[in-house]
Structure 1
């Protein structure tokens, strides 16, 4: 993995993720590098300050473009501002009021972008228990009629519906497959605003999303796949194991046990995991996370399964992929991406172009 910050893997991974999002129109590479040039390694104050400054500057440009009726420019600018505000708040403690303030600005900019001109992403509300979960539906490209296959895309500990749109969705829809991203319990605005914390029985929110997709007239209910990234590898695997409507399951990074493979394996994420499960202490977090396991679950999966994982993943243990594969009894494949070919980082962050091609071609084959 290329280390923008030579001695800082987590920060370098975020830089890689930003570049990947820039390739998919979520940011601009040069704007990113200009901000990064002003951020010394491990200077958390500078990280927040410089990304906020960048976001505010791009938001001003977007507002000016609206005044001049340059709506394409404005739309693009608001999307980039969304990404930079979201990046600014990333390392802040959840008790820091600046975190929610920057996150709110991010969603506001995304909403403004999506309201300008032709809607890029159809915002949906998924009925769930006594509330709704937000998501975005993106139709298959090049398909003018009929019911298309669809992928339900689930994020992990720090990703949510809007961000997922810049993590491969356009690569899926180009293959004639619709895609719906969702923000579930423990994620994005659902945990920040609605106070719905993550839960081990994630087949429930996933099932609600599948219910919603089944009711759409442009979706083929016999060809609904499920994909999860990072900790979403646990969510997706559990959903596919306990809901027979899932026609294929793709793990964009595995997570067999949230406690063993993530919380204990990568200490920097512990405070975030404690927060998303609504725990008041590390001991309570460990107790709650101990229930997030695929043991006795993944062997129930019937649909085809593809597991992808980086051999040098320092965020989620590569053992997660091995354990998931060993216990699954369905038609299954596993690819451990090696450093020699690139892709050995977390969720193949250092080789997304080839990883997307490999994963989404597999999806297309399963849903053909």
Structure 2
């Protein structure tokens, strides 16, 4: 498919909501209209076009609510939240851009307004975690509001938020009869943007608090709790399962045994020795400058490594980032995973290259589900055909949980 947005990075961010169309999170005409509005514009124009679209939908939602058209109001509020979430991606970075916070506040308000409407209103919860709380939403499956059902806990990666997980995963799971719990942890959404808490590799500590919260609900079957992670969550979810054993299954989309391996490969491509990769703080100033010059000259790399990578991980230079990433591996702990693992591997997703390691290390605990370019599902997190991903993964979870007492 050709570019909808003129700028390649804008196109990457702006076409992400295409995956949400089957689940009510976007419509093609609206995305195309935003792209035309942005034209050859800059990040500020991209931001304004999405926020204005979100504002228009919210105004319409409020009119619908006043007129008693609850279904339309809910749909419009929720869709607006996805558009606000799209608006600020180019503004990632530290210090936090006030426009990002403004759009995020609108996103949360629209999301919660939508969830509050209808037969099964969903309230935001605060999940106690260390000396703070995490935002969480326990969503009952429609028609099973008071029934004890299996629960899918959804965990994000680097740059999505609860709204994204709702449309990418939760709507499909809720329709299938699963209750869903959505949360953002350190380095994600509100916890990063407002609490300024960076990402951490020991995700079992985070998920332990989330499972404690989930099992307190009378509608959650404590024997059938699944943790599903996408993007960097394809590392975080299995990492959590290595230390939190109340999970009936874990989904890694895509499976990443070692994020560190990818960072080390990048460093090796720049000529760094294995010794420097083991101890990135020993990197020479010349090597650090060479890497940063290459990163700064490529808008996509600059966004991923500086704007996002430095900010999310709470670091300020390339040495610190490489050192931090060395902790993101399952090498010492992966064999402690005791539940079944569902691993996805999309053909053209660079993050999926090591997905086969799960089967090599964990044997028949692992179900590997491949996705291909021919199916339109070969890209990162199968975003070109998210319905296919959800069908295959949920079918496998149906099978696994049917065997659980």
Equivalent of 2:345 in 294, 301, 309 = 309
Partner residue, 2:227: 226
Partner residue, 2:60: 61
Mapped pair 1:4 → 2:38: no
Shift of 1:210: 0.9
The separation in 1 between residues aligned to 2:166 and 2:30, in whole angstroms, is 20
Partner residue, 1:74: 73
Give the TM-score normalised by structure 1. Answer: 0.90
The correspondence of residues 57-136 of structure 1 with structure 2, limited to 5 A, is: 57-94=56-93, 95=95, 96-136=97-137
The correspondence of residues 274-285 of structure 1 with structure 2, limited to 5 A, is: 274-285=310-321
The separation in 2 between residues aligned to 1:131 and 1:93, in whole angstroms, is 23
Mapped pair 1:237 → 2:238: yes
Partner residue, 1:300: 336
Mapped pair 1:33 → 2:69: no
Flag structure 1 segments of 5+ consecutive residues without an equivalent: none
Flag structure 2 segments of 5+ consecutive residues without an equivalent: 267-299
Q: Which moved more, 1:357-366 or 1:81-90?
A: 81-90
Partner residue, 1:273: 309
The separation in 1 between residues aligned to 2:204 and 2:83, in whole angstroms, is 32
Shift of 1:263: 9.1
Shift of 1:13: 4.5
The separation in 2 between residues aligned to 1:177 and 1:15, in whole angstroms, is 30
Shift of 1:328: 2.5
Contact 1:123 1:134 in 2 (8 A): yes
Shift of 1:109: 2.0
Q: Deviations for 1:174-214, whole angstroms, at most 9, x for unmatched residues?
A: 22221111111110001111222111111011011111122
Given the superposition, is the C-alpha separation of residues 11 and 256 from structure 1 closer, same or farther in structure 2, using an over 3 Å criterion?
farther
Equivalent of 2:366 in 304, 329, 332 = 332
Q: Which moved more, 1:45-54 or 1:352-361?
A: 45-54
Given the superposition, is the C-alpha separation of residues 269 and 324 from structure 1 closer, same or farther in structure 2, using an over 3 Å criterion?
farther
Shift of 1:230: 0.6
Q: Which moved more, 1:269-278 or 1:116-125?
A: 116-125
Given the superposition, is the C-alpha separation of residues 118 and 177 from structure 1 closer, same or farther in structure 2, using an over 3 Å criterion?
closer
Given the superposition, is the C-alpha separation of residues 97 and 282 from structure 1 closer, same or farther in structure 2, using an over 3 Å criterion?
farther
Partner residue, 1:357: 391
Partner residue, 2:376: 342
The separation in 2 between residues aligned to 1:358 and 1:219, in whole angstroms, is 23
Shift of 1:141: 3.7
The separation in 1 between residues aligned to 2:179 and 2:263, in whole angstroms, is 30
Q: Deviations for 1:154-183, whole angstroms, at most 9, x for unmatched residues?
A: 011012223211112122122222111111
The separation in 2 between residues aligned to 1:67 and 1:105, in whole angstroms, is 20
Partner residue, 2:195: 194
The separation in 2 between residues aligned to 1:48 and 1:83, in whole angstroms, is 13
Count of residues paired in the alignment: 365
Give the TM-score normalised by structure 2. Answer: 0.82
The separation in 1 between residues aligned to 2:383 and 2:222, in whole angstroms, is 31
The separation in 2 between residues aligned to 1:199 and 1:55, in whole angstroms, is 32
Structure with greater Cα Rg = 2
Q: Deviations for 1:54-110, whole angstroms, at most 9, x for unmatched residues?
A: 122223323444454544433332222212121111111423322222222211222
Q: Which moved more, 1:70-79 or 1:81-90?
A: 70-79
The separation in 1 between residues aligned to 2:151 and 2:330, in whole angstroms, is 24
Q: Deviations for 1:206-229, whole angstroms, at most 9, x for unmatched residues?
A: 011111122211111111111100
Given the superposition, is the C-alpha separation of residues 145 and 38 from structure 1 closer, same or farther in structure 2, using an over 3 Å criterion?
closer
The separation in 2 between residues aligned to 1:8 and 1:363, in whole angstroms, is 39
Q: Deviations for 1:11-42, whole angstroms, at most 9, x for unmatched residues?
A: 54444431221321222332122112233368
The separation in 2 between residues aligned to 1:164 and 1:78, in whole angstroms, is 16
Mapped pair 1:289 → 2:325: yes
